[in-house]
């Protein structure tokens, strides 16, 4: 019998051996990845290990197998079954990393930023029809190791395209931690919202108000060349004043201009700029019914930020809820989760409920 190589931990391989036997693998040959059905047949024996180290090894193996990416080679032998080598917390075939699901996430999102334990456990449950909540510490550790192994520089060419928008990793990185969101994130996400309900909503580019202030109506006149604002129900206008994001909305049927701010600030001049713009637009588009009756309002009792970095995230969440007629059921504590969700939505180019 061939002796196991040095870094093969035989005490942790019983689970993998059973999986390989279930698939009828042969020594000295690459075997197929075990199917979910094969794993489920071994539920009682394999998923209820009393050895924490064995549980960890099994969890790593399962994580790698859920995308069918794990390979088994004759680098070690146990009762005639080919076994993988465990190296640095991962299961590898030779020098190749086979972190199936995590590799899939990296390819789709550029980085592991939007990945959370819930996603991994959901995927495991979907494939194996098994509850892995008791493995959460191991899953968390594997995700952390994977992120450390795949730094930002390894995905520097990652791009997301949508209509005329393009996001690179520097743009997406503004959704990490407590970074400030930039115009590119705000504008692409706003367009996703608008395209989700195109008959109802029009989203103005974040540069609109800046251009209106510096060049007046003529500077933005062509921005609505292909759209009749007065046929919409809701206008969303993000306002960026140096280091802070706010939101102005316009309820066209009720002629109400509202101001939303996650720090309770009210920039009256911004609201007045939009009111004057609407009057001029109504005149230019020959819509006399919209030349009067406009009201302004400051929206109070809305979710507020408790730091100096999440104003942009709050603005996007306000926009999404208003456009989709959803209640404001979020708070500062939800911002890490909301940032991850926005990251996913941008990469997938569609809103997630």
Active-site option among 270, 311, 319, 347: 311
Active-site option among 261, 270, 310, 347: 261
C-alpha span between 344 and 112 (Å, rounded):
10
244 catalytic, yes or no? yes
261 catalytic, yes or no? yes
Tokens of 155: 């995905």
DSSP calls for 154-206? GGTT-EEEETTEEEEHHHHGGGSTTPPP-HHHHHHHHHHHHHHSTTTEEE--T
Helices 117-128 & 100-109 angle (0-180, nearest 10): 130
Alpha carbon of residue 328 to chain centroid: 20
> If you compute the radius of gyration of the chain from its CA atoms, what whole number of angstroms results?
27
Active-site option among 244, 266, 321, 334: 244
**Cβ(138)–Cβ(59) under 8 Å?**
yes
C-alpha span between 58 and 15 (Å, rounded):
6
Catalytic site positions:
244, 261, 311
């Amino acid at each position: 019998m061939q002796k196991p190589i040095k870094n093969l931990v035989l005490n942790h391989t019983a689970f993998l051996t059973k999986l390989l036997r279930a698939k009828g693998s042969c020594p000295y040959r690459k075997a197929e990845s075990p199917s979910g059905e094969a794993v489920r047949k071994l539920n009682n024996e394999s998923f209820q290990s009393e050895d924490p180290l064995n549980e960890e090894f099994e969890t790593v193996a399962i994580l790698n197998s859920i995308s069918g990416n794990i390979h088994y080679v004759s680098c070690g032998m146990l009762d005639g079954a080919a076994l993988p080598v465990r190296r640095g917390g991962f299961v590898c075939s030779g020098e190749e990393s086979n972190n199936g699901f995590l590799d899939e996430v990296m390819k789709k999102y550029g980085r592991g930023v939007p990945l959370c334990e819930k996603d991994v456990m959901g995927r495991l449950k979907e494939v194996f029809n098994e509850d892995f909540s008791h493995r959460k510490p191991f899953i968390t550790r594997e995700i952390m190791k994977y992120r450390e192994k795949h730094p930002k520089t390894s995905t520097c060419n990652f791009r997301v395209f949508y209509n005329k928008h393009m996001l690179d990793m520097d743009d997406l990185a503004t959704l990490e931690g407590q970074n400030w969101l930039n115009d590119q994130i705000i504008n692409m996400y706003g367009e996703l919202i608008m395209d989700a309900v195109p008959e109802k909503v029009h989203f103005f580019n974040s540069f609109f108000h800046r251009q209106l202030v510096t060049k007046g109506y003529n500077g933005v006149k062509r921005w609505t060349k292909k759209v009749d604002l007065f046929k919409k129900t809701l206008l969303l206008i993000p306002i960026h004043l140096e280091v802070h994001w706010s939101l102005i909305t316009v309820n066209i049927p009720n002629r109400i201009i509202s101001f939303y701010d996650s720090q309770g600030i009210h920039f009256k001049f911004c609201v007045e700029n939009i009111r004057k713009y609407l009057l001029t637009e109504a005149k230019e588009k020959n819509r006399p019914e919209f030349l009067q009756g406009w009201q302004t309002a400051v929206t109070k009792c809305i979710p507020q930020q408790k730091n100096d970095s999440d104003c942009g995230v709050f603005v996007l969440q306000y926009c999404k809820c208003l456009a989709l007629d959803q209640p404001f059921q979020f708070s500062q504590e939800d911002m890490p989760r909301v940032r991850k969700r926005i990251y996913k939505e941008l990469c997938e180019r569609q809103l997630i409920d």
